[in-house]
Amino acid sequence: MSAPIPDARSAEHWFQEAWDPEMSLGDWWQVLALSGWGFPTWPERWFGRGLDSQEARRVQAARASVGAVGPPSGIGVMMAGPAIIDHGTDEQCARFLPMMVNGQEVWCQLFSEPGAGSDLAGLQCRAERDGDEWLVNGQKVWTSGAQFAKWGILIARTRTDVPKHQGITYFVIDMDQPGIEVRPLREMTGGATFNEVFLSDARVPDENVIGDVDRGWSVAVTTLAHERNSLGASGMAGAAGGAIIGRNDLSRPAGKLSSGGGEMAGIAAAFGGGGDLIKSLPALADRANDRILVDKVMRVYSLMEIARFTSLRVQAAAAAGRGPGPEVSTGKLLASQLVAQLRDVGLEALGPQGQLMGDETLLGGLLQQLALFSPAISIAGGSDQIQRNIIGERVLGLPVEPRLDKDVPFSELSVGTQR
């Protein structure tokens, strides 16, 4: 019989006792990981508390009330970790999770390709067995944080004589090897969040296959569901509590951690604090008496609450043992619309100042950063169009989009450079 689930009061007491702003960030993340309070919905044996979504939110609120820094964020803990817990072996969990949850190792996601974005199953990156290893050749693109990453979650084609969804295998690949070249992609934000990655005889040991060989598509679907949930309103709000690992000095005092700006800083700030920033925007812009602006702000806040409740449904389903459902796509689509509305209302509130960047502007340029990065949210984790297809087919019961290649071996398809 499992032990009783501790309530949020236990978490608050722990944070009050354990939080020390002078502790190094690396030490704090290690203490937080071992406590189970950093990732409370994860299983108890893997750095969690086994809590349901409502209790987890109370834990997050308890942490925030104490002013403690949250756990590391990023691809690892938001996507790779949950996927490995769901589909990996105990040995793989024990090998990969410890350095992930304490912020020591950065992860990236090697899924999309130049010819396989929305049609991800059309990927051409190949993995061929070489003894007890696999040789990987191909190109990936839009890989967030690859320039910082130690590990990557990779899907590659291991069979071509079966339909495209059936011959894919899911790997964990070491990014620090001669066969991998990372090229940052400069964006209009001035930053380089995304990268293209070239793999030339890159090696992966057989022990790094997650799930079964040739059946990695189901693992990829689970990963994408976690990604879409993390890109929902609650997921982006959570980014304000911790920090993207790889961009922070782990030796610095944890209490001095800040978002450090960057493309996601404005979005995290806008979603964090229960929408406090957006609600206070008219007053901050000295337009509290502008009823039209106030009305627009409250419409955005209402949509934010709808997105939050949708995220709670996803978390409740996971806590009940149900796999990610179509509500994940609904939440992702809501978040995309919400970011666009935040951009428009934010720039309207700023007026001419919205054309300026820098610390001297209102909110230090956070809303301008949000505006420049906002198009990425409608694409990342599956485009808005893909989410609408999923909702239409799986929720509304509309006719399924014709898929003429469903039962055709991949080798017979005209895909990308394969003609």
Q: Does residue 367 surpass a pLDDT of 90?
A: no
In this structure, what DSSP letter does residue 96 have?
H
CATH architecture label of 235-382:
Up-down Bundle (1.20)
CB 298 within 8 A of CB 289: no
Q: Does residue 354 surpass a pLDDT of 50?
A: yes
Q: At a CB cut-off of 8 Å and minimum separation 6, what does 48 contact?
A: 36, 39, 40, 41, 42
pLDDT in tens, 46-94: 999 988 777 887 888 889 888 898 898 889 999 999 999 999 999 999 9
User: What is residue 204's predicted lDDT score, i.e. its pLDDT?
Assistant: 98
| Local confidence band at 269 (pLDDT 50, 70, 90 cut-offs) | low
CATH 2.40.110.10 spans which residues of the chain? Answer: 105-219
- 314 or 309: whose pLDDT is higher? 309
What CA–CA distance (Å, rounded) separates 78 from 85? 12
Q: Catalytic: which of 12, 113, 196, 227? A: 227
Q: Does residue 14 surpass a pLDDT of 90?
A: yes
Max Cα-Cα span within the chain: 71
User: What is residue 228's predicted lDDT score, i.e. its pLDDT?
Assistant: 67
pLDDT in tens, 196-244: 999 999 999 999 999 999 999 999 999 987 776 665 545 554 444 455 5
In this structure, what DSSP letter does residue 67 have?
T
In this structure, what DSSP letter does residue 162 have?
S
Tokens coding 259: 């978002």
- 318 or 309: whose pLDDT is higher? 309
In this structure, what DSSP letter does residue 134 have?
E
Q: Which residue carries 């060989």 as its tokens?
A: 213
User: Half-sphere exposure of residue 369, counting CA atoms within 13 Å on the CB side?
Assistant: 23
DSSP three-state, residue 115: coil
| Residue 260 CA from chain centroid, whole number | 18
Comparing 19-23, 105-109, 118-122, 311-315, which segment has the lowest mean pLDDT? 311-315
Name all contacts of 352-357 with Cβ < 8 Å and 24+ positions apart. none
Q: Does residue 310 surpass a pLDDT of 80?
A: no
| Cα→Cα distances 280→145, 153, 275, 285, 332, Å | 32, 40, 9, 9, 25
| Local confidence band at 3 (pLDDT 50, 70, 90 cut-offs) | very low
Say which CATH superfamily domain 105-219 falls into.
Butyryl-CoA Dehydrogenase, subunit A, domain 2 (2.40.110.10)
DSSP three-state, residue 182: strand
CATH 1.20.140 spans which residues of the chain? Answer: 235-382
Q: Which residue carries 């990453």 as its tokens?
A: 149
Give CA torsion, residues 301, 304, 308, 311, to 10 deg.
170
Q: Has 305 been annotated as catalytic?
A: no
Q: How far apart are the first and last CA of the chain?
A: 58
Residue 99 CB neighbour total at 10 angstroms:
16
User: What is residue 240's predicted lDDT score, i.e. its pLDDT?
Assistant: 43
Burial class (CB in 10 A: 0-12, 13-18, 19+), 243: buried
Phi/psi at 273 (5° precision): 65, 25
Residue 215 CB neighbour total at 10 angstroms:
17
pLDDT in tens, 136-154: 999 999 998 999 999 999 9
